[in-house]
Amino acid sequence: MQINRYMDKIFPDLELKPPLFYSWKIGIRFKLGVNYNPNHIYENCPYLFGVYERAITLFNALHSTDDDMVIVIDVEAFAENETVKRKLNVLSKFVKEKSVLYRLTQHTLPYFNHEEDDDGAYPIRRFLLNCKPSEIRYIPMIKAICNQDMGIKPSLYHRVYFINKSKNTIFHIYDDRGCDLLAASTETIRGIYNQYNEWILDYDRNQIDKVFNGNDHFK
């Protein structure tokens, strides 16, 4: 597959799975959710408004409208007779023209064990959509990804990776808590590192600062 050749060349040995940040040498982990209170979660509540604002701001800072992008969506099939087509119908609301969906391809990944337990192994259908940011409704899509654990619709609970082939970056919102930004070069995302430095997750800040302040072979 073309995307596999691209990944082998630009992100060798990187496997697309969480936690993405810890699997690549150049990256930033941002905190999206601030002041979470489970008793005050509702549609368009202040907490979620802040999550949306950060996630959309970072996406816009990273992507230009005409960049060549691949959206990778991993869908777990929890039953043998479960129709993946039905599950992927949700994507139709996130494209501006239905014809974009004709570019959608898919293949099956090796079996996947749940992180929480080992009670079962389920195949993953990996869908790939070649597109440009201008061809998708990325704002409602990002909101749906952020809603996945909030009990709020629309919700997109599949793993979604935005691979920017024009800038050689990968953007992954894992849920309302945060997102990972990976790059082939520090210089590609140094501006984002500087401008949104206050949003960096403090737990990983020392590791991130070392990458952007003194490791020349990463540039």
Q: Please give the structure tokens belonging to residue 69.
A: 């992008």
Q: Is the C-alpha dihedral spanning 172, 178, 184, 190 positive or negative?
A: positive
Q: What are phi and psi of 153, to 5 degrees?
A: -105, 150
pLDDT tens digit sequence for 92-148: 899 999 999 999 998 888 766 555 545 556 778 889 999 999 999 999 999 999 999
What confidence category does residue 75 fall into, taking pLDDT thresholds of 50, 70 and 90?
confident
pLDDT of residue 3: 87
Share of the chain above pLDDT 70, in %: 86
User: What is the predicted pLDDT for the residue at 63?
Assistant: 98
Closest Cα partner for 145 from 116, 187, 180?
A: 180
Q: Kindly calculate the radius of gyration of the chain based on its CA atoms and give it in whole angstroms.
A: 17
Going by C-alpha positions, the residue among 28, 70, 69 that lies closest to residue 192 is 28
Summarised one tens digit per residue, pLDDT across range 29-71 is: 999 999 999 999 999 899 999 999 999 999 999 999 999 999 9
